[in-house]
A and B are shown apart, each in its own frame.
Chain A
Amino acid sequence: MGVLLSLVEQMKDTVQILDTASYLKGRTVAQSTQMKILRQMVRMSQVDQALRLELDRGKLTYFLSQAGNEAFHVGVAFGLKGGDWLFPMSTLPTRRGHNMTADIPGLNVVQASSPGASRLVHANGTAWAAKLAGEKAVSCVTFGESIANQDNFHVALNFAGVHQTPALFVCMTPGGYKDTAGEDIAGRAIAYGFSGMRVDGTDPLAVQKVIGEAARKARGGKGPTLIEAVWPEKTDESPVERFARNLKVSVEDLEMTEEEVEGQVKLALSRFGNADPKDCVFGEDDPRMSKGS
């Protein structure tokens, strides 16, 4: 009971760094790291905008914007280390070992599928494999709060709890979407025998801190963590603007040139462009293409 109470106590607060007194006194993250994070957020925001334009022009058939979620995604990526595994939610353009939010050498990024919650079980699988191999990699999966309704949410967290895998389940609960999965997703971790944390999803430094702490804990053999990123009261200020204001820098100064954005978009779109679908079904020729027809 004592353990449970302390877990509940721990989850009461939402971790925040930006706009807090200690941040304003310069007592938190190194300036150079902050600039790196902000630059990535700006890049992500620009690429997102360009991809939305491609969608409007009919050049893309499907793209879900992540505008407003830059702090969350970049914060998550910066909380991880090379060799870790990231299963980003379905809306993020990704390529193996590299994603649009962070250039972390050796980060294993697994492209998302549409069935949202099955990825939580995969992330637990890579975490479990790392544990079995005695390696220090952690696995982190991000998902929207509606995924907490699905059976695989339970399956993944249950497996993680039973086998104490180095897995980070990171839920994004933007304002206005709270009701479909009910309140307090982070609190559900207790039922699976590990701890939950809540963090401000528009504060990249707080997200990075929470992910980093959970990853350290996982690396130390202390099991999984469920993290819920929540959005504070709606304001007109975007997370990018909020961070820039705190850092006292101008967003415009950090923006990529039009050519650079174009290059990033091309890179994102080039991934599957010319692949012949039948060459990708099996390793060799699709047996049904060669033998069965």
Chain B
Amino acid sequence: MADMNIIQAVNNALSLEMARDEKVVVLGEDVGKFGGVFRATAGLYESYGADRVIDTPLAEGGIIGSAIGMALYGLRPVPEIQFADFIFPAFDQIVNELAKFRYRTGGDFTCPVTIRTPFGGGIRGGLYHSQSPEALFAHTPGLKVVIPSNPYDAKGLLLSAIRDEDPVIFFEPKRVYRAARGEVPEGEYTIPLGEAAIVKEGSECTVLSYGAMLHTAKEAADKLEAEEGFSAEVIDLRSLVPLDIETIAESVTKTGRCVVVVEAPRTCSFASELVTLVQEHCFLSLEAPVRRLTGFDTPFPHTLEHEYLPSVGRTMTAIRETITF
């Protein structure tokens, strides 16, 4: 075991998989010699060379389109989109091509492409370095959407994603890239896509979250329990598609209440989908309305990011109000 942060866990996973499978290639803007703006690919260029750790021209559609071609040829490309905010020039390639290749070729061709991209706010990145666009991709049939919240999961989920035969959008929570630390096995291991993790057990309310917000949700639940005696169960979804609805439904059926915490803008966020699924699966068990705690329907505000992001205090209020409804 080693003590790692998320960046180190991602880097370690990439390095192990490149050593294990020579078909794995990394490509993107400054991922080679420079090692990536967040250092996620540091050292890979030196270990695996310019033919497998590829600095591309600065054009996201070109990066993803090339990765699609490479995947058709038989490689396993792991393109990096430097910030999730920059993924939109590649949106056509992802939604119209990557997501549909298996479907429109009747299974002749698959695209085992894993797109890594840091997402979310809280790093003073302003409106073009802070967005959370995961719902747009979860909405697109043919894409898997995976979001780790800690180093152990980041490594195990990334290895599963790269080995998956279908395209995966792997969102990395950049606010906790270095803040979230933990013990990580140095060898390889995988975590299946589509299995949520119960990170804190509780009896009165289920709190659903993922990515950086999971830490806020967990802190709020711990504080409520210590200070006010409310018992909330916190579930880390880890994967939005496939979604572990069984674990969610079992928990909400037990607690009778549910609060969803995400930082994306409110309307049509993945929280909306979760609220719908919970009422579809658990209607007769519900003791209170299912609550959405989200960002606001504005562009991500530079100067007000701490007001914009669901805080520990706001999360505590949402859970408390749901339990005492």
Contact = CB atoms under 8 A, between A and B. Distances in A.
Interface string B147-190: 00000000000000000111000000000000000000000000
A96 B67 contact: no
Contacts of B52: 132
Contact of A129 (B73, B103, B142): B73
Interface string B98-126: 00101111111110000000000000000
B69 interface: yes
Contact of A111 (B105, B110, B245): B105
Contact of B74 (A113, A121, A124, A129): A129
A113 B94 CA distance: 13
Contacts of B141: 281, 286, 288
Given A113-B104, A122-B97, A280-B107, A155 B194 contact: no
Residue among B52, B72, B93, B246 with max Cβ neighbours from chain A (10 Å) = B72
B65 interface: yes
B241 to A, nearest CB: 6
B92 A156 contact: no
Contacts of A280: 102-103, 106-107
A151 B70 contact: no
A202 interface: no
A158 B63 CA distance: 12
B72 A122 contact: yes
Interface stretch (B1-9, B53-61, B197-205, B315-323): B53-61
A139 B69 contact: yes
Interface string A226-264: 000000000000000000000000000000000000000
Given A96-B109, A113-B104, A280-B106, A122 B241 contact: no
A158 B74 CA distance: 23
A275 interface: yes
B105 A96 contact: yes
Interface in B240-271: 241-246
B66 A121 contact: yes
A277 interface: yes
A115 B92 contact: yes
Contact of A125 (B59, B67, B92, B166): B67
Contacts of B241: 287-288, 292
Contacts, number: 137
A286 B107 CA distance: 13
B103 A156 contact: no
Contacts of B105: 96, 110-111
B245 A128 contact: no
A158 B105 CA distance: 28
Contact of B144 (A113, A156, A287): A287
A280 B69 CA distance: 19
Given A113-B97, A158-B59, A121 B68 contact: yes
A129 B96 contact: no
A23 interface: no
Contacts of A292: 241-243, 245, 277
Contacts of A156: 62, 65
A244 to B, nearest CB: 35
Residue among B52, B57, B106, B241 with max Cβ neighbours from chain A (10 Å) = B106
A152 B97 contact: no
A194 B72 CA distance: 25
A283 B67 CA distance: 19
Contacts of A277: 103
A115 B91 CA distance: 12
Contacts of A130: 73
Contacts of B245: 291-292
A239 B63 CA distance: 39
Contact of B68 (A122, A275, A283): A122
Contacts of B93: 118, 121
A287 B243 contact: yes
Contacts of A158: 57, 59, 62
Nearest to A122: B69
Nearest to B74: A129
Contacts of B110: 283
B75 interface: yes
Contacts of B66: 121-122, 124-125, 128, 159
Given A96-B108, A291-B242, A292-B242, A124 B65 contact: yes
Given A122-B97, A125-B68, 18 more contacts: A110-B72, A121-B62, A121-B68, A122-B66, A127-B69, A130-B73, A132-B75, A133-B73, A155-B59, A162-B57, A272-B106, A280-B103, A280-B106, A281-B103, A282-B144, A283-B110, A283-B166, A292-B241
Closest 5 CB pairs of A and B: A125-B69, A121-B65, A287-B242, A129-B73, A125-B66
20 contacts: A110-B72, A110-B105, A114-B96, A118-B93, A122-B97, A124-B69, A125-B70, A128-B69, A129-B74, A139-B69, A155-B59, A155-B65, A271-B106, A275-B106, A281-B102, A282-B166, A283-B164, A283-B166, A288-B241, A292-B241
